[in-house]
Amino acid sequence: MYLSQEEESIYQGERGETLRRMMEILVALGDIYGAEELIPVRSVQVAGVSYKNIGDAGLEWISDLQGRAVVPSILNPTGMDLCRWQEMSIDEKFASKQREIVEAYCRLGITIDCTCTPYELYSNIAGPGDHLAWSESSAVSFANSVLGAKTNREGGPSALAAALIGKTPAFGYHLDDNRVPTHRVTLNFDLKGSDYGALGFVVGRMVGDGIPLFHLKSYPSKDDLKALGAAMAASGSVAIYYVDGVTPAPPTYEVNGKAAEKIGLGREEIDQVYQDHPLEDAEMVAMGCPHCSGQELQRIARLLSGRTVKKELWVCTARKTAQAFPDLVDAIERSGAKVICDTCMVVSPATDVRAKVAVSSGKALAYLPGLCRVKVGFGTEEECIDVATRD
Ligand code: F3S
């Protein structure tokens, strides 16, 4: 990979040990994936935050680094609500390690927003054609597909390296040749709410790391697109998709005359996702995967109006989103539900002790059984609220 004079001097350690190690990561990645050069990134989103996932080894690695992020860099969710962790039954040891991790990232200049939806908080971190280095799979999908930006799915270390250097190797989804649809998925029926998560759950399994181009009958909202992409990134490893007439268009529709494979889906395939994951016996309900937007908080507040929850109900969102809508948070919590910030049902250890959790998210459906070893039921938002408010 070609390195400029300045990049070469960082690589040789002339700007300190941390930057040398960061440059080493970027160069190694670039060499493995055949990048020709490093390109500047507009922003970074850093995963590898929950103590549940990175443990002591991760904490030690981050604590050892010195330096400051040189581009806007935002932290992914942690393993607990940083203010209300005791209400989540998080133990003191976990809480103290988690705080150390967050403080270590903070010292490196990473913004402690602790969210997988940074695009809800900042409008100036990703736009059409911008190169990014984002980590969390649903954020990557949203950035590539809905915002029209360009990012690979970074690991924690490579995202941190991009934050401190301000660059990433140009390969994968940074190049238009790798952003061409591989599958055309046609649906001739309407979708609503959690159906988009169910659709993503089905299509992710079918296409793996492919690039679907959807032809939909209904017009998805921004939150629907978020749910669709998140589910495909979890049940498969889809990092970019298109919805005809809704998202930015692909750079081209075929490469070397190779047309995308056609997939037709019926309503029965979406219904099957609900049927395969009944809500009965769920002892907890978790919503907000990816983190809730203001509109989603509003919908949940409306559904909970005048009702009292009988089971633990978490509504996960970014702290800044909760702070922007205090009336909605109050309305939700008046029912007994908890608006949980900085974390989520997947990356927090608090979910692991549950037997069965009800969700309306295709991504949580895909991840909870494997990552938290809990059974999972899948339903609409209305059905999940019914479960939470029933004895
Ligand atoms: Fe976000 Fe956690 Fe879901 S990080 S996408 S809420 S698994």
Write the CATH number for 27. Answer: 3.30.499
Same domain, 17 and 164: yes
Same domain, 218 and 284: no
The whole-number average pLDDT for the span 322-333 is 98
The whole-number average pLDDT for the span 159-174 is 98
Same domain, 89 and 172: yes
- Is-contact 284 354, C-beta < 8 A? yes
DSSP code at position 365 = H
Testing ligand 1's pocket by substitution, the residue of 235, 344, 372, 376 carrying the most ligand atoms inside 8 A of its CB is: 344
CATH of the domain at 336: 3.30.499.10
256 Cβ contact partners less than 8 Å away, ≥ 6 residues apart: none
More confident residue, 391 or 249: 249
Domain boundary at 145, 176, 207, which?
Answer: 176
Strands (E), 309-390: 312-317, 338-341, 356-359, 375-378
Q: For 113, phi and psi rounded to 5 degrees?
A: -85, -25
H/E stretch holding 24 reads helix 17-32
Q: Is 117 in the pocket of ligand 1 (CB under 6 A)?
A: no
Testing ligand 1's pocket by substitution, the residue of 52, 80, 235, 291 carrying the most ligand atoms inside 8 A of its CB is: 291
Gap between the Cα atoms of 116 and 342, Å rounded: 9
Domain boundary at 248, 273, 298, which?
Answer: 273
Same domain, 120 and 240: no
Same domain, 82 and 112: yes
Q: How confident is the model at residue 254 (pLDDT cuts 50, 70, 90)?
A: confident
Q: For 15-62, what is each residue's pLDDT tens digit? A: 999 999 999 999 999 999 999 999 999 999 999 999 999 999 999 999
Q: What token pair was written down for 278? A: 């009944």
Same domain, 37 and 137: yes
CA of 290 to the centre of ligand 1 (A): 5
Domain boundary at 134, 149, 176, which?
Answer: 176
Q: Is 363 in the pocket of ligand 1 (CB under 6 A)?
A: yes
pLDDT of residue 288: 98
Same domain, 28 and 154: yes
Same domain, 190 and 228: yes
pLDDT of residue 18: 97
Q: How confident is the model at residue 256 (pLDDT cuts 50, 70, 90)?
A: confident
Same domain, 218 and 282: no
Gap between the Cα atoms of 43 and 119, Å rounded: 11
Same domain, 217 and 337: no
The whole-number average pLDDT for the span 291-297 is 98
Q: Is 138 in the pocket of ligand 1 (CB under 6 A)?
A: yes
Q: How confident is the model at residue 159 (pLDDT cuts 50, 70, 90)?
A: very high
Q: For 179-205, what is each residue's pLDDT tens digit? A: 999 999 999 999 999 999 999 999 999
Q: What number of H helices and E strands is found in the chain?
A: 15, 14
Q: Is 136 in the pocket of ligand 1 (CB under 6 A)?
A: yes
Q: Is 347 in the pocket of ligand 1 (CB under 6 A)?
A: yes
Q: For 57-115, what is each residue's pLDDT tens digit? A: 999 999 999 999 999 999 999 999 999 999 999 999 999 999 999 999 999 999 999 99
pLDDT of residue 391: 87
Gap between the Cα atoms of 140 and 247, Å rounded: 15
Q: What is the pTM of this model?
A: 0.97
Range of the domain at 340: 277-389
Per the structure, the count of domains in the chain is 3
Q: ∠ CA 190-191-192 to the nearest 5 degrees?
A: 125
Q: For 203-253, what is each residue's pLDDT tens digit? A: 999 999 999 999 999 999 999 999 999 999 999 999 999 999 999 999 998
Report the percent of the chain where pLDDT is more than 70.
Answer: 100
pLDDT of residue 303: 98
Same domain, 25 and 159: yes
Task: Give the position, in ligand 1's atom list, of the atom nearest the Cα of 116.
Answer: 1
Q: Is 346 in the pocket of ligand 1 (CB under 6 A)?
A: yes
Task: Give the position, in ligand 1's atom list, of the atom nearest the Cα of 367.
Answer: 7
Same domain, 89 and 228: no
Mean of the per-residue pLDDT values for the chain?
97
